[in-house]
A and B are shown apart, each in its own frame.
Chain A
Amino acid sequence: MNDNSPNELRRPPVDDPGPETPTPSWVSANPELSKAAQRRVVGAFGLSALSALISVVAYFAIPLHIQVELGSFRAGLHNVVFGTTMGLAILLIGIGSVTWGRNLMNDDEIVQERHPPQSSDEDRTEALAQLSEGVRDSGVARRRFIMGSLGGALGLFALPLVVTLAGLGPWPVPSRRRATIERTLFAEATPQAPIRLVNDVTFRPVKASDIEIGQLVNAQPENVQHLEGVELQQAKAKSSIILVRMDPETIQVPESRRDWQVSGILCYSKICTHVGCPITLWEQQTHHLLCPCHQSTFDLGNSGVVVFGPAARSLPQLKIGVDDEGYLIATEDFRVPVGPSYFERDSRNDFQEGDA
């Protein structure tokens, strides 16, 4: 019983007229055009070789760091000349080859039988016979316990290799999470030993009196300066902050955060609560802060709640104060983990619209 039969039974309504009779192409029927095509092919191959040679000369002869400018096109001369000649050397082989194939070769279609992918009945029977012979030779049928134990061994032998993958990185158990993704550099701050907030480019401490209403300052904790390499990157991915000064009359400050600010200067995490991009786009008038990656928008005049976009949680706010010399300081860490969500994150303490 062949499952192809329903189709095979149906006779197509039109008989196969057979393959089209090949007609000689215009070029091949025309000796002059053929000659011209041949010239084009030889010309393409010849130019390709020439272009390759020019390319090699250009590689050595043209100094690096010379810029060419043609209107809005600006590029390095070496790259342009070396690359263009190299590209032409390659491209012209293709052009010559395709021209040759299309115009000068006999491209009459041929018809070949298609052989079905399945094996012939004889092959199938022969294969089954050989398989049975092999199974008998192995004696598997009489010694089932061998197969059972082999199955067990094959099932487990790869485990030692697999478990080495458990060392791909440190395990984010609760204690490690508290020491890494749930902690920022501000954790080192205490009311006795506060941490100054510094400009993130110059590392100069930020004075409260230097920030005007409407201004945004990208900042870091001062202890970030002692770090380098990986630790610096990891610290910046969590401890980056923004300082904004808004007219206290125009913003809502909940009772619980009344003393988190210094005369309208508020400090927020710069790391988006969506997937962790640093947020930079500040709309002075609306107090909105927009993440350039996925356009989550936070209202900094309202404890950082989400007003638009895919982020789900308010931007964490940092409690800041001012020291005797007028510099902005932090005396404690963020109250909630900064950055994107993760499964073990306890998100019940994040600020929500309407919280007091």
Chain B
Amino acid sequence: MATPARMAEPTDPSSAATSTRTALRSDQVDLPPALTNRAKEAKWLDERLGIGGVGKAFLRYAFPNHWSFLIGEIALWSFVVLLITGVFLTLWFKPSMAEVEYNGSYQLMKGMMMSQAFASTVDISMDVRGGLLLRQMHHWAALLFVSAAFVHAARVFFTGAFRKPREVQWLLGVGLLFLATMGGFSGYSLPDDLLSGTGLRFADGLMRSIPLVGTWVEFFVFNGEFPGDLIISRLYMVHILLIPALILALVAAHVGLVAYYHHTQYPGPGRTEHNVVGEPAFPVYIAKAGGLFFLTWGVLALFGALVTINPVWTYGPYNPAQVTAGSQPDWYMGWVEGAVRIMPGWESHWGPTTWSWNIFIPGVILLGGFFTVMALWPWIEQWFTGDTRSHHLLEFPWQNATRTGIGVAIITFMLLLQFGGANDLIATHFALSLNAITWFLRFAVFLGPIIAFWVTKRICLGIQRRREERLVHGSPSGHMHRNADGAYHEDDVPIGRDEAFTLTSTPGPDPLEAGPGTDARGVHRNEPVSTRRARASRWWLGDNIAAPTREELEAGHSGDGHELEPSKK
């Protein structure tokens, strides 16, 4: 029946509105009256700032449209909300560890001795009009910022958006993710309440565990023995100056590079590696993206108004001799916390020295290793796949089964550790044995990711197989036929060319083959491939089901009798 040749003729991309226009004369532009009246102002600005050139470059700049592209925007907008609410909070917060007597309106603490930082935090919450709202908006915005940044990173990972030419963009993103978590932790510690002080005590133990220099790190960070008298003012500088400045610089570069490359796009009809199909920046993208800023901010304000977070007055001031049961860090440190909890108590006592593997491995090595592997990921994957092509079309996660499997394995690992970070609450809420949960997780964090990898990869390969089937045989029509022998079978309808193109326009790389110089097609390669790398490449790519060739597609749909043959399935 229908063959690819009978599908709709491709339309010439240049027939749609494109940026390649012949030079316009000013009298050819049909200016709306609202703009004609502003000609003088526009001229004034253009003669000083050259806004004409900027406008030409960006007014109708195309942004591909997909919900998954909004996650990074949400991160950006929550950061803006953090800056705004943060500036307000600095108007009242006093970053000092000097001991003062509380004299505010919260009766339960009257006369208590506490640090000025904590007293001013309680004042902001109790006695500054709108202060609690700002504090809660700031905390919720921080949680949303880090969450959105993590999910955005996952989106970029699973769609292969980090591949050439965007490796530098990915590095900027990893840097931002790290800074976001550090910004969160430094802010979490500022109120100097019982919970955040306990968090600092944990950070102190983490620093101490570093071999050779741990004690020096502790004494330098805390100005002596924990807790010292300077940590709050130092963290304040880090939290309101150092980290925001670095984040702003990196965000500027990150967003600037998006503009430079043009956004990636998912495969689809009319979309190629050489074009970008999307909504114009002005007006529709600005209306939606600008609207998203207000939606993000508005939701955060409603959360600040209606959902209590971190009620420090119920915890009380920090006291190294007290702790609350169920002490939990903010969620993004939860997996590190979990790793520290389920780690066996391994410590080496060599001569007069102590090596705290029980803290150093899950705390410092794991956190550092996570960000290191993440930063190196584009090069790690490239070593396996040998893919040095430029990519502007995204991959569907199922197209790169091994990467998606590894990604899901890593997420599984982190989720299991996150459960570990809540082992006490899981135990009390579900009446389980804390020790049993801990022992289970000690094995599950290794077995779980392996199972997750295997299952995910199988699912991806299954989707690849179904894609091939749809391409070659078409999609089930729902029409049953009975032939003269009484056998039933179902017609297949060829899928449309839009879908066929979408499914085939991003062919994955072939596994590397060992050898010097040339590849299977006789094309010269720059570097020779070792047998070890070729084996690794086959492991990564070998299971992929290759997209059918043009000939296979023709064959699959050829012959009028095809649909009447009994299905091979």
Contact = CB atoms under 8 A, between A and B. Distances in A.
Interface in B463-502: 497-498, 500-501
B102 to A, nearest CB: 15
A274 B359 contact: yes
Contacts of A46: none
B319 A236 contact: yes
B72 interface: no
B370 interface: no
B112 interface: no
Nearest to A346: B352
A7 B389 contact: yes
Contacts of B261: 114, 117
A292 interface: yes
Contact of B220 (A93, A112, A168): A168
Given A310-B343, A347-B347, A230 B519 contact: no
A2 to B, nearest CB: 10
Contacts of A280: 322-323, 325
Nearest to B11: A18
Contacts of B270: 16-20, 111
B302 A91 contact: yes
A89 B198 CA distance: 38
Contact of B321 (A15, A64, A200): A200
Interface in A229-244: 229-230, 232-234, 236-237, 240
A111 B274 contact: no
Contact of A90 (B214, B276, B298): B298
Interface stretch (A96-104, A138-146, A150-158, A258-266): A96-104
A275 B275 contact: no
B113 A228 contact: yes
Contacts of B330: none
B105 interface: yes
Nearest to B554: A13
Contact of B205 (A95, A113, A275, A278): A275
Contacts of A26: none
Contacts of B33: none
Given A110-B62, A237-B226, A343-B354, A83 B302 contact: yes
A7 B386 CA distance: 12
A308 B433 CA distance: 12
A266 to B, nearest CB: 18
Contacts of A15: 4, 10, 497, 501
A277 B288 contact: no
B24 interface: no
Contacts of A343: 208, 210-215, 353-355
Q: Give the interface centre of B20, B299, B356 by most chain A CB atoms within 10 Å.
A: B356
B133 interface: yes
Given A4-B389, A15-B497, A108-B17, 19 more contacts: A3-B388, A14-B497, A16-B270, A87-B305, A90-B298, A91-B301, A101-B285, A108-B279, A112-B276, A113-B275, A114-B273, A165-B220, A234-B227, A236-B321, A237-B320, A275-B201, A276-B204, A309-B438, A342-B209
11 contacts: A12-B507, A14-B500, A90-B297, A90-B301, A91-B297, A109-B62, A275-B206, A277-B323, A340-B359, A344-B353, A344-B354
